[in-house]
Amino acid sequence: MNIQKIASLLAISLLSFPAMAGWTRLSKSSIELRGDIEKNSYNEYLKVANGEFSKVILHSGGGYPSVALRIAENIADRKGVEIKVDGACLSACANYLALAGSRLDVDCHSVLGFHGTLPSAGDSVASLKQEGAPQPLIDEYAKWVALFHENEDIFYNKIGVDRKIIDDSVVVIKRIDISVSYSIDRDSGEYSYTTTAGVWIPPLADLESYGLRNINYCKQYTSHLVDEIFKKNQISVRYSISSMSDGGDVKR
């Protein structure tokens, strides 16, 4: 028996986009990302970002965190860049790209949704061992993910935002009633299951408590408002719009 196991925990996107989506230059001063953050998105970004720009428009369900972080580091090195969310900026898009500028604009027609980050090196090692992965792979991946989190910490320190916002998003998402659907073939025993993704759409006061400044943000999200935004952008995820300090949730 030949068993091949493929793990794809590195790229999490909560939206679907046409094949041609990606980075484009809109004008001399503006560039835009519409679509997933793919493996080649950093090189694509560099081509589009060649020269000056002062505005980045984002509509992305996320993707590869390591790639998003590299792009965000480059944006953060530039001065006076405005980040505008046009529709949705979720997961890796929210964790890194949305926070990389000098100013963030998220009006009540758009959402910023946090979704956690990659597991720690220790958790990754434990998971790979449980899967029966070869030790050399475990050692190599542990080094890779440890370096990723080190660079993640450096980025957050540089932009003056508490990276606890990522960890807290996981805490809030755990309060949400995440649905699971499954199917099983009674003859062969083959099965599949799907877990609905969840995101945290923080209130403005929460964002400010983590150190975000110069932010134009929707003053109050309601479940109806978020439902309409998600419907318009064909997003199907559970969400919370509650404060981190609030034990009760408004969720979908």
CA distance 92 to 114: 8
Confidence of residue 2 (pLDDT cuts 50, 70, 90): very low
Whole-number percent of the chain with pLDDT over 70: 85
Confidence of residue 124 (pLDDT cuts 50, 70, 90): confident
- Would you state the pLDDT for residue 215? 96
- Would you state the pLDDT for residue 121? 73
CB 223 within 8 A of CB 230: no
Q: Is the pLDDT of residue 141 over 80?
A: yes
Weakest mean pLDDT among 37-41, 68-72, 91-95, 174-178:
174-178
- Would you state the pLDDT for residue 8? 38
- Would you state the pLDDT for residue 247? 61
Mean predicted confidence (pLDDT) in 60-86? 96
Place of tokens 């964002």: 207
Q: Is the pLDDT of residue 186 over 70?
A: yes
| Sheet strands (E) in the chain | 12-13, 22-25, 30-34, 55-60, 62-63, 82-90, 103-106, 111-113, 180-184, 191-195, 198-200, 215-217, 238-240
Place of tokens 């963030």: 104
Confidence of residue 113 (pLDDT cuts 50, 70, 90): very high
Which has more confidence, 182 or 68? 68
CA distance 207 to 189: 46
DSSP H or E run through 23: strand 22-25
- Would you state the pLDDT for residue 7? 38
- Would you state the pLDDT for residue 163? 95
User: What pTM does this model have?
Assistant: 0.85
CA distance 188 to 244: 45
Which has more confidence, 123 or 237? 237
Intra-chain end-to-end CA distance of the chain, in Å: 43
- Would you state the pLDDT for residue 122? 79
CA distance 166 to 154: 14
CB 249 within 8 A of CB 28: no
Whole-number percent of the chain with pLDDT over 90: 62
- Would you state the pLDDT for residue 1? 29
Half-sphere exposure of 178 (CA within 13 A, CB side): 15
Strand partners of residue 24? 32
